């Protein structure tokens, strides 16, 4: 279950996506990140009964508008999602997509967050899923199992260049293909580790030789300090 922030003003008149760094019209950037974070959490607890009811009814769209406004007030370029939690029932993720200009706002948001409990946990970047091989992504008419994603990874010091392959990628349009190139990596590594350790990311149109699974990629990236400067492949 995931509810991503949607921006009704995203496409321009000719259908070209806008610069994601451009704030929404008439939406000011708060001058005090700490104060904005405190306001966020006050409003969050006011909304929480409605959020809980919508999630309990499996109708998260009922609170999407309110949550969009809440996150935009913290900073208009932040994104959010509601997820299944790793240890709690639900997780609220507020992410700046590793933009350094947004880090003060996500840092303040996380610092002011309440402690995780049995119902809610809070993340300032998209966390990895426990087992990416068990995830299936519904993308239009396509159901894409991340268990079928294969990766070629080349390590260069403390960063990795990767090429991502899935047999369904050739059937997707360019935007969907880009999504399905990066989504498996974020799901496997988490947004922050992927941003820190992945340098060049490419889409492979045909399956390359010497690929590894997403689980093997996770082990590789987490163990970079022990395995510098090599190309890694295998049957997975």
Binned at pLDDT 50, 70 and 90, residue 227 comes out as low
Please report which residue ranges of the chain form alpha helices under DSSP H. Answer: 33-56, 64-74, 103-112, 174-189, 191-197, 214-222
Tens of pLDDT along 157-178?
999 999 999 999 999 999 889 9
User: How many angstroms separate the CA atoms of 152 and 173, rounded?
Assistant: 22
Q: Is the pLDDT of residue 8 over 60?
A: no
H or E element at residue 88: none
Domain ranges (residues) in the chain = 3-123, 132-232
- The pLDDT assigned to 225 comes to 55
> 97 in the Ramachandran plot: left (φ > 0), alpha (ψ -120 to 50) or beta?
left
- The pLDDT assigned to 191 comes to 87
Q: Quick one: 87 exposed, middle or buried, by C-beta within 10 A (0-12, 13-18, 19+)?
A: exposed
Are 14 and 58 contacting, i.e. CB atoms less than 8 angstroms apart?
no
Tens of pLDDT along 56-69?
998 888 998 999 99
**Closest-CA residue to 151 (of 221, 98, 97):** 221
pTM of the predicted model as reported, rounded to 2 decimal places:
0.67
Per the structure block, which two tokens stand in for 20? 């994601």
Are 26 and 87 contacting, i.e. CB atoms less than 8 angstroms apart?
no
User: How many angstroms separate the CA atoms of 222 and 196, rounded?
Assistant: 11
């Amino acid at each position: 279950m995931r509810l991503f922030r949607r921006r009704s003003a995203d496409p321009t008149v000719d259908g070209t996506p806008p610069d994601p760094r451009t704030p929404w019209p008439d939406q000011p950037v708060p001058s005090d990140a700490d104060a904005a974070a405190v306001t966020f959490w006050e409003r969050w607890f006011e909304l929480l009964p409605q959020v809980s009811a919508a999630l309990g009814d499996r109708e998260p769209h009922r609170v999407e508008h309110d949550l969009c406004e809440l996150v935009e007030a913290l900073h208009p370029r932040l994104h959010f999602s509601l997820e299944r939690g790793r240890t709690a029932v639900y997780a609220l993720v507020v992410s700046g997509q590793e933009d350094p200009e947004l880090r003060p706002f996500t840092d303040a948001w996380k610092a002011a967050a309440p402690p995780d409990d049995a119902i809610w946990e809070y993340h300032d970047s998209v966390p990895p899923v426990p087992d990416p091989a068990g995830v299936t992504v519904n993308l239009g008419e396509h159901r894409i199992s991340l268990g079928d994603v294969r990766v070629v990874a080349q390590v260069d010091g403390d960063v990795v260049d990767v090429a991502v392959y899935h047999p369904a990628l050739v059937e997707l349009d360019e935007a969907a293909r880009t999504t399905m190139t990066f989504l498996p990596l974020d799901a496997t590594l988490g947004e922050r580790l992927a941003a820190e350790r992945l340098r060049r990311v490419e889409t492979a149109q045909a399956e390359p030789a010497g690929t590894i699974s997403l689980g093997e990629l996770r082990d590789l990236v987490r163990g970079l300090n022990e395995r510098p400067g090599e190309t890694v492949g295998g049957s997975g």
